Structure 1
Amino acid sequence: MTPVPPPPWHEFVRGPLVPVALAASFGLIADRYAGISLPTELVVAVAGLVGWFVGRNRNAEFATLCLWGGIAGLAAAHHHTYRHGFPPDDIGRVVESHPVLVRVRGLVDETPVVHHSTPGHGFGPTRRMDRAVTILAVTEVRDESDVWQPASGRLRLSVEQIVGHADRGAFEAIRVGDEVEVTGQLSRPSPPGNPGEWAYAEHLLDERIRGELRVAKAEDAVTRLDEGGRRFAVLTRLQSFFTNRIDDSFPPREAALARALLLGDGSAMDRTEWDAFARTGVIHVLAISGQHLVILAGFVWWSLRIYGVRRRRGTLLVMGLVVGYAVLTGLRPSATRAAVMVVAACGGLLLRRPVLTANTFALAWLVVLMWNPTDPFTSGCQLSFVSVFVLIWGATRWFAPKPLTPPELILAETRSVPEKVLRGLARILYVAFGITVVLTLTNAPLVMLRQNVVPPVGVLVGPPLVLLTAVALLAGFLLLIVGPIPPLASVTGWCLSLCDELVKFADELPGGSVYVPTPALGWVVGFYGLLAAFVLLADRRIAFALLAWSVLGLIGLPRTNGDEFRVTFLAVGHGGCTVMETPDGRVLLYDVGTMAGPDAVRRIVAPYLWHRGISRVDEVFLSHADLDHFNGLGELLRRFPVGQVTMTPSFALKPTHEVADVLDAVQRRHVPTRVASAGDRFTAGDVAFEVLHPPREGPDGTENERSLVLRVTYHRHSMLLTGDLEKSGAQRLLGLPPAACDVLMAPHHGSRSALPPELVRWSSPGLVVASRGYRADPAIRPADAAGVPVWDTFTAGAITFRSNPTGLTAEAFRTGERIVVRHGR
């Protein structure tokens, strides 16, 4: 009778580094989220280590607990110092929130990455820009007396250049390690302006960066003082050599994929290409990960064994190659984890000693957090360790072939060779797709939390993509090492081309990817806690609890705002998007666009809606046919079902391809449309909408003069949404009977010329809101608005109004200011 193997938790109990890794993790979490001071963390660390040293020969259990506490304190202090410990001359200490012109010198600390503008994007900004980004390690700064002073710290340097400009290649000569002098605008990274928005400043702080240096033109603004330093010379030359070899071996499209796959350099791929891989749940096949290192290590190991290389020498070669490749591709957390585990396994072979996998896993975690204690809080690191944990201690056990009984062995012997081959292939397909399903379900909560997408199609295309990229990896590695041999280039190119076509096909399948609201963090933590318990304990009762917990989180609760009508003016820059949430759970948008292009939907609008638990938009009102008010509709339709689009009579008549494209997108998704004009009235539950402008025909002039003006009323409170209303349109509105309101949207993004005192007197608002960007016209002041308070989204961030039977309140997300707006009349 075959003995039953012990559950996985036995292995983890035997690993001495497992509790150390858990204690260190606890310390990281405590410092990041509990706000513990550095002195307290150091006291805990010293007390714990002293307690361990004193008690190790007296009370082993007490000493062990002290040791774990000391390690937690050390990890917390390491995280705190890494993230908040800066020397007195750090450049971040003098950075202002507003841009200031400075001259600094420093060393280029990372390989510059060029983000190419997407060509031919119909809804993009008026000037397409390429942007080169790198990290500058500051050494000197020019002070006010025009004297160079020593300085330190790291800045994110970005150089923007117009596509097609004669000087756009000036920055391409800069390499890692070069000493440069830069003249640019220095500012502090902006905090999020809207709920749910990515905390960009916090992300940079995790990289010890507290300032951004922006350059509008590389010529004369970025000057190389000295060529690359010695510490980067070999690495830089290798990266440049391999990049050039890839570019010379493939056409541009395949070269971009090959650079991402082999070198972790995704700069040649645009945002739309990356998004397709992310939406289909197969971004891991391109991102440098443990899969790459395992394939490389396995291929090299078996190749060396075939050619008769001695085990010891082959093991050393594999170790060196894996570590070198991890360094070459940037020591990403997943690659570091794989490198540590491969090196540990090779070390066991060299020393002829068994290696405990759980101990190696814990060691990899400790190495990652020692190298960069903020990495464990990134989604890539979390997905890598979670996937490997489930794969090693769960999937390998769940999909292991069952031992055959004697009758089954006899039956197997009688099968023909073709039948055995078919059964073997069926077994491979079963395991491949089964593991893909397991890992997709395992990663789903984290992907939902970070990317708000569930990609069912990833289960279908995942196994063939892994096979294709594995072949491309092996052929590509050989091509990098031995040179651009035609067969190697052909095999790699064919595989990458097939990958590209397969991802495009999967991305276009209806229901292939589903966008979902952000799940509760507590639910995600509970899911992974139950998952870990199920994998380690192998108890079916926990599996049922995990299933029930998953269903509970996915079903959720129906949205309702009680008796509250909630209106949020999002901070989208120079553009507009106002989100209205009715008490009965309906969601309506007034405009969705910005001068920066439709990417604002991905960065701002969609995250806000998901943050609010919104998965459907009932109606979108488009104020007029100017690009900065509607160019996000296509991206919104991709992410949310929309019940209806309402537009002005002249919207569809504007003869631009952008208008035609957005109308085509609405038609392709079978979204009903309607035209609204003066006199129309709509309702959404207890919320009433009255169209004050424009009439069915006219007025003459630009689209601004025909902007949709809505008076939105809930109980005693009302607000006036005006779009870009100006000139003859404003004069027509002022000719109507006065319409008092509590909140007035300043027309044309707060331009002083678009808000005449007559409009303020006509509407008698309690508060004026201007949706503007940094480069918009000077903000209107209370004096310009006849003494009425003025809030703008650039300064205040998202501005939320909450109307209920007791009153109307306004809250600014960025400044935290809250006021009570006077009752409507």
Structure 2
Amino acid sequence: MRYCQAYPFSIVPPLDRFKLASRKASPAYTERTIYRPLVLLAPAITLGVITDAVFNFSMVVWLVAFVILIACWGLLWCQQRERIASGTLLFAVLVLGGMLHHVHWNLYRSTELSRGLSADKQPVALQGMVLDYPRFLPARPPGSAFEFEQPNQWKVPFRIRQIRNGATWEAASGDTEIYVSGDELDVRPGQSILVFAQATCSEGALNPGEFDFANWARANRRRTFLRSGFPECLKSTGMTPQRSPWDPIRLSRQYVSRVLVAAIPPGLDGLAETIFLGRRERLADETDEAFRQTGTVHLLALSGLHLGILAIFAYWLLRFLPGPVWLPAVCLLLMTVAYVVLVDARPPIVRASILVGAFCVGMILYRRHMFWNSLAAAWILVICWSPTEIFQAGTQLSFIAVASLAWLSGFQAMIKKPDPLKDLIEQTRPWPVKCWRRVVRGFGSMFVASLIVWLVTLPLVLFHFHAASPWTIVLSPILIIPMSIALAGTLMLLVASLAMPMLTPYISWVVSVPLWGMQETVTWTQQHAGFTLWSAGPPAWWVIGFYAVAATVGWLMITHRVPVRWSTAVVAAWLTVGFVWGTTQAIESNTRDDLVCTFVSVGHGTCVLVELPEGRNLLYDCGRLGSPKRACESLSAVLWSKGIQHLDAVIISHDDADHYNGLPEVLERFSVGAVYCSELMEKIPSDLVSSLLDDIRRRGIPLRSLSAGRSLSAHPDVEVTILHPTRKGVLGRDNANSLVLLIEYQGRRILLPGDLESPGTESVIVERPIDCDVVMAPHHGSRHSHADSFYQWCQPEWIVVSSGSRDILGPVIAKPGEPVWLNTAASGRIEIRLSADGGPPKVTSWRESHRRR
């Protein structure tokens, strides 16, 4: 009956017994048993979530499995078969995790508005309730000449209740956010409003490796997106605003935001809101980008580090309160809960709050809490709150970073050997020397911790973001000091604004100065010593294996079960596996004998990647109408999914921004052998093209011109020929002088005409007809290009439209002899594969179900 003594208030037998050998002064070992049941429950429930995410079993299967396992557990426990009962209970927890994920991912109300929406905009009239104060999104100046200026906007949290169908109102549901263009907006929480907006349901990824907005919205259970062009589109219904228990929290959040905006100088108020409230709406784009490129963006993401700094500062002050010993711990616990609610209970904050809460409870009960059990409890709570959070990069990095720091602390304590002589010498030193040595040791420990966290999280960072900066090792320990001062000053500022408002102008300097120091340090580093490593990143199987190996080796090292040298050898062996895999992939790419032409889905724009035999790569255009960053990200996702990090040549078809505005960022991320454009484009460039060409020359990339009749020596079996324009070109717009590229391999042809239109079209079709297998629709399939004569001239079997509109397609049912139409807006990435045997082209799309014949 020893289990009943260990768990006097529970009928559940222990799930975990770790036996650790603690070394005493004598060589003998004393064995003690430490119970950490949550350390086993956490991976069990996680495995259940992953199982449902992969296989998507029905709810009936999960329920039946759960009932059977619970019944088996009860029977086994009654028979006192405790070990088997514990294993059965673990499987029941696994099934519970699958049920939680299934409910969160699949079960919606029948009135959910997003069930009837698509990615196409649809005008709607809705009635519902405002959930929180609207957030102002100030217009941000374009980051470059290739971007458009956006208007001021408001983001309004909104709960849908009714939708108008003709003249009647029908029940609808769903929580969402309304983006309203305008300078002023007067709505308040609990207010019932009528909304006229364009509604969409976020679509999935259109390219492999691209961020899936549809999955992200579904994971947050906010699949409906509403956008209104004017503040007048939101009207009050005249009903009395509803009260909510959350109103004090919303009012407090709004008050904190107003205090920070009023007290902190413009340009720094956004940074103050970011690190204290986790709101990045006011943060300047250039500041956000500087933190990203220097690898210190984790300081902007509200996490356990911020809560830890505030908790340490608050506890240091609370110690001076008169009263019992447990009073500071109780006050800190209440403050922690209040702060978690204030910042919307983000998963990293929830994790940190549980650790702080466990510390406080231990202080109150005079008990020492177990860190790993508390960390497992935080992970389980995050899963119960939102099962899909464990797939988010921020949540994964937060928990891994904390686990790494905890392991480092335990490892240092294990290898540290007390030396009485050194301690005695240290006590005899003068106090300035003592202080200096403590500061040096403190910074040294922080740099070591920063290095360990960077190394441990590097595979996951490269897998999710494909970029890393070694500057984070140096900057993180340095920037923690001003950030700590700023957070403590913010807390003092809020207290002073309530108790002594006359002191807020003076305390605001305690916040503003360190924030200015952080911003200037990061910006200077980015501008004068920027160093970002861009990489395709390791495959998912290797990342999972790395952390499994690291966790196992770390546990074995900390428990003295394996020597450090053997642990290092195991980790090195797994790194070697990754290196061998990458080398094998590179060899396979260099020995490939087929030609692959990939039309990347970038919206209204063009981006075509041509993978030549034996590993050479050619890019034809990279741009889109609107955000150039989106074009670069879409191309980058495709390149990284293929393991490509170098482009041998880039061809710019003509002087239209939606064909080249993504190139500046592409040049930042990938190495480029040479850039080609037409002679007309180089001799008579527009302002935007001049800026781009200057950037290319500044990077030392060769810039060469092309004209009709020339060809590129890409591969002995591949002919890349320029059909248009001539050196003098033709009269008309830039579109008429687009570079027309003909690619021929083993008798098969692909034609890329850019935005070719009249009179350039006539200049091309007067030449001898060329029978092509695949043709990109000129000018994104626009009817103004008058491409019928062009198609008759080249007789394509496949026509690919690179567009942002799904409506541009050929006939629904193609007649014999007519070409098959594909559209990147509907089908996503389209890939044409020409084999070395000269067989018919193999055409595949990212969304096969959208292919129309």
1:5–1:396 distance in 2 versus 1, CA, 3 Å: farther
The C-alpha deviation readout for 1:54-74, integer Å capped at 9, x for no partner, is 221321112112211111112
Aligned residue number for residue 87 of structure 1: 109
Question: What CA distance in whole angstroms lies between the structure 1 residues aligned with 2:302 and 2:364?
Answer: 27
1:513 corresponds, among 527, 532, 536, to 532
Aligned residue number for residue 574 of structure 2: 549
Question: Is the CA contact (8 Å cut-off) linking 2:354 and 2:378 kept in structure 1?
Answer: yes
Question: What CA distance in whole angstroms lies between the structure 2 residues aligned with 1:526 and 1:74?
Answer: 25
Question: What CA distance in whole angstroms lies between the structure 1 residues aligned with 2:334 and 2:684?
Answer: 63
Larger deviation, residues 218-227 vs 696-705: 218-227
Amino acid corresponding to residue 197 of structure 2 in structure 1: G
- State how many pairs are aligned: 807
Q: Is 2:97 aligned against 1:67?
A: no
Q: Which SS does the other structure have where 1:209 is aligned?
A: coil
Question: Is the CA contact (8 Å cut-off) linking 2:287 and 2:519 kept in structure 1?
Answer: no
Q: Which SS does the other structure have where 2:170 is aligned?
A: strand
Q: Is 2:545 aligned against 1:535?
A: no
Note the 1:4-23 alignment, pairs <5 A. 14-23=35-44
Question: Is the CA contact (8 Å cut-off) linking 1:97 and 1:187 kept in structure 2?
Answer: yes
Question: What CA distance in whole angstroms lies between the structure 2 residues aligned with 1:91 and 1:183?
Answer: 15
1:608 corresponds, among 638, 663, 678, to 638
Query: 1:310 offset after TM fit, Å?
Result: 3.3
Aligned residue number for residue 174 of structure 1: 187
Amino acid corresponding to residue 42 of structure 1 in structure 2: L
Aligned residue number for residue 521 of structure 2: 502
Query: 1:134 offset after TM fit, Å?
Result: 4.4
Query: 1:158 offset after TM fit, Å?
Result: 2.9
Question: Is the CA contact (8 Å cut-off) linking 1:782 and 1:789 kept in structure 2?
Answer: no
Query: 1:129 offset after TM fit, Å?
Result: 3.6
Amino acid corresponding to residue 511 of structure 2 in structure 1: T
Aligned residue number for residue 140 of structure 2: 118
Question: What CA distance in whole angstroms lies between the structure 2 residues aligned with 1:818 and 1:3?
Answer: 72
Aligned residue number for residue 51 of structure 1: 72
Aligned residue number for residue 165 of structure 1: none
Query: 1:575 offset after TM fit, Å?
Result: 0.8
Q: Is 2:648 aligned against 1:635?
A: no
Amino acid corresponding to residue 720 of structure 1 in structure 2: L
Question: Is the CA contact (8 Å cut-off) linking 1:569 and 1:578 kept in structure 2?
Answer: yes
Larger deviation, residues 279-288 vs 516-525: 279-288
2:542 corresponds, among 523, 541, 564, to 523
1:154–1:414 distance in 2 versus 1, CA, 3 Å: closer
Aligned residue number for residue 363 of structure 2: 349
The C-alpha deviation readout for 1:318-339, integer Å capped at 9, x for no partner, is 0111111111111110000111
Question: Is the CA contact (8 Å cut-off) linking 1:601 and 1:632 kept in structure 2?
Answer: yes
Query: 1:417 offset after TM fit, Å?
Result: 4.3
Larger deviation, residues 364-373 vs 545-554: 545-554
Question: What CA distance in whole angstroms lies between the structure 1 residues aligned with 2:33 and 2:270?
Answer: 42
Note the 1:584-595 alignment, pairs <5 A. 584-595=614-625
1:491–1:106 distance in 2 versus 1, CA, 3 Å: same
Question: Is the CA contact (8 Å cut-off) linking 2:146 and 2:628 kept in structure 1?
Answer: yes
In structure 2, list runs of 5 or more residues that go unmatched.
1-21, 498-502
Query: 1:654 offset after TM fit, Å?
Result: 4.4
Q: Which SS does the other structure have where 2:606 is aligned?
A: strand
Question: What CA distance in whole angstroms lies between the structure 2 residues aligned with 1:460 and 1:500?
Answer: 15
Amino acid corresponding to residue 795 of structure 1 in structure 2: A
Question: What CA distance in whole angstroms lies between the structure 2 residues aligned with 1:678 and 1:337?
Answer: 63
Query: 1:677 offset after TM fit, Å?
Result: 0.7
Q: Which SS does the other structure have where 2:91 is aligned?
A: helix
The C-alpha deviation readout for 1:15-72, integer Å capped at 9, x for no partner, is 1222222211111111111222211111121122222222213211121122111111
Aligned residue number for residue 732 of structure 2: 701
1:747–1:504 distance in 2 versus 1, CA, 3 Å: same
Question: Is the CA contact (8 Å cut-off) linking 1:390 and 1:535 kept in structure 2?
Answer: no
Aligned residue number for residue 331 of structure 2: 317
1:566–1:428 distance in 2 versus 1, CA, 3 Å: same
Amino acid corresponding to residue 348 of structure 1 in structure 2: G
Question: Is the CA contact (8 Å cut-off) linking 1:137 and 1:153 kept in structure 2?
Answer: yes
1:254 corresponds, among 268, 278, 283, to 268
Query: 1:13 offset after TM fit, Å?
Result: 6.2
Question: What CA distance in whole angstroms lies between the structure 2 residues aligned with 1:612 and 1:222?
Answer: 50
1:443–1:179 distance in 2 versus 1, CA, 3 Å: farther
Question: Is the CA contact (8 Å cut-off) linking 2:318 and 2:331 kept in structure 1?
Answer: no
Question: What CA distance in whole angstroms lies between the structure 1 residues aligned with 2:402 and 2:713?
Answer: 52
Question: What CA distance in whole angstroms lies between the structure 1 residues aligned with 2:25 and 2:597?
Answer: 61
Aligned residue number for residue 5 of structure 2: none
Aligned residue number for residue 35 of structure 1: 56
Question: What CA distance in whole angstroms lies between the structure 2 residues aligned with 1:271 and 1:753?
Answer: 37
Question: What CA distance in whole angstroms lies between the structure 2 residues aligned with 1:131 and 1:611?
Answer: 35
Question: What CA distance in whole angstroms lies between the structure 2 residues aligned with 1:11 and 1:487?
Answer: 55
1:454–1:60 distance in 2 versus 1, CA, 3 Å: same
Q: So what's the TM-score if we normalise by structure 1?
A: 0.93
1:300–1:11 distance in 2 versus 1, CA, 3 Å: farther
Question: What CA distance in whole angstroms lies between the structure 2 residues aligned with 1:712 and 1:791?
Answer: 19
1:363–1:413 distance in 2 versus 1, CA, 3 Å: closer
Query: 1:239 offset after TM fit, Å?
Result: 1.4
Question: What CA distance in whole angstroms lies between the structure 2 residues aligned with 1:568 and 1:72?
Answer: 41
Aligned residue number for residue 742 of structure 2: 711
Q: So what's the TM-score if we normalise by structure 2?
A: 0.90
Amino acid corresponding to residue 21 of structure 1 in structure 2: A
In structure 1, list runs of 5 or more residues that go unmatched.
162-167, 821-825
1:655–1:689 distance in 2 versus 1, CA, 3 Å: closer
Query: 1:687 offset after TM fit, Å?
Result: 2.6
Amino acid corresponding to residue 460 of structure 1 in structure 2: V
Question: Is the CA contact (8 Å cut-off) linking 2:646 and 2:672 kept in structure 1?
Answer: yes
Aligned residue number for residue 583 of structure 1: 613
Aligned residue number for residue 150 of structure 1: 171
Query: 1:215 offset after TM fit, Å?
Result: 2.3
Amino acid corresponding to residue 429 of structure 1 in structure 2: F
Question: Is the CA contact (8 Å cut-off) linking 1:811 and 1:819 kept in structure 2?
Answer: no
Q: Is 2:840 aligned against 1:810?
A: no
Larger deviation, residues 101-110 vs 709-718: 101-110
The C-alpha deviation readout for 1:476-530, integer Å capped at 9, x for no partner, is 1111221262342112111111111111123235562111103200000011111
Question: Is the CA contact (8 Å cut-off) linking 1:326 and 1:339 kept in structure 2?
Answer: yes
Task: Determine what percentage of the aligned residue pairs are the same residue.
Answer: 29
Note the 1:199-238 alignment, pairs <5 A. 199-221=212-234, 223=236, 227=241, 229-238=243-252
Q: Is 2:406 aligned against 1:375?
A: no
1:550–1:309 distance in 2 versus 1, CA, 3 Å: farther
Aligned residue number for residue 13 of structure 2: none
The C-alpha deviation readout for 1:93-126, integer Å capped at 9, x for no partner, is 3224533222112223455444444304444455
Question: Is the CA contact (8 Å cut-off) linking 1:752 and 1:780 kept in structure 2?
Answer: no
Aligned residue number for residue 16 of structure 2: none
Q: Is 2:460 aligned against 1:446?
A: yes
Q: Which SS does the other structure have where 2:704 is aligned?
A: strand
Query: 1:380 offset after TM fit, Å?
Result: 1.1
Query: 1:771 offset after TM fit, Å?
Result: 0.9
Q: Which SS does the other structure have where 1:636 is aligned?
A: helix
The C-alpha deviation readout for 1:136-183, integer Å capped at 9, x for no partner, is 321112123x22222222334333x3xxxxxx124x433444332212
1:90–1:817 distance in 2 versus 1, CA, 3 Å: closer
Query: 1:268 offset after TM fit, Å?
Result: 0.6
Question: Is the CA contact (8 Å cut-off) linking 2:45 and 2:94 kept in structure 1?
Answer: yes
Q: Which SS does the other structure have where 1:56 is aligned?
A: helix
Question: Is the CA contact (8 Å cut-off) linking 1:782 and 1:790 kept in structure 2?
Answer: no
Question: What CA distance in whole angstroms lies between the structure 2 residues aligned with 1:792 and 1:5?
Answer: 77
Q: Which SS does the other structure have where 2:841 is aligned?
A: strand
Question: Is the CA contact (8 Å cut-off) linking 1:188 and 1:211 kept in structure 2?
Answer: yes
Question: Is the CA contact (8 Å cut-off) linking 1:115 and 1:132 kept in structure 2?
Answer: yes
Amino acid corresponding to residue 822 of structure 2 in structure 1: W
Q: Which SS does the other structure have where 2:700 is aligned?
A: coil
Aligned residue number for residue 18 of structure 2: none
Amino acid corresponding to residue 391 of structure 1 in structure 2: L
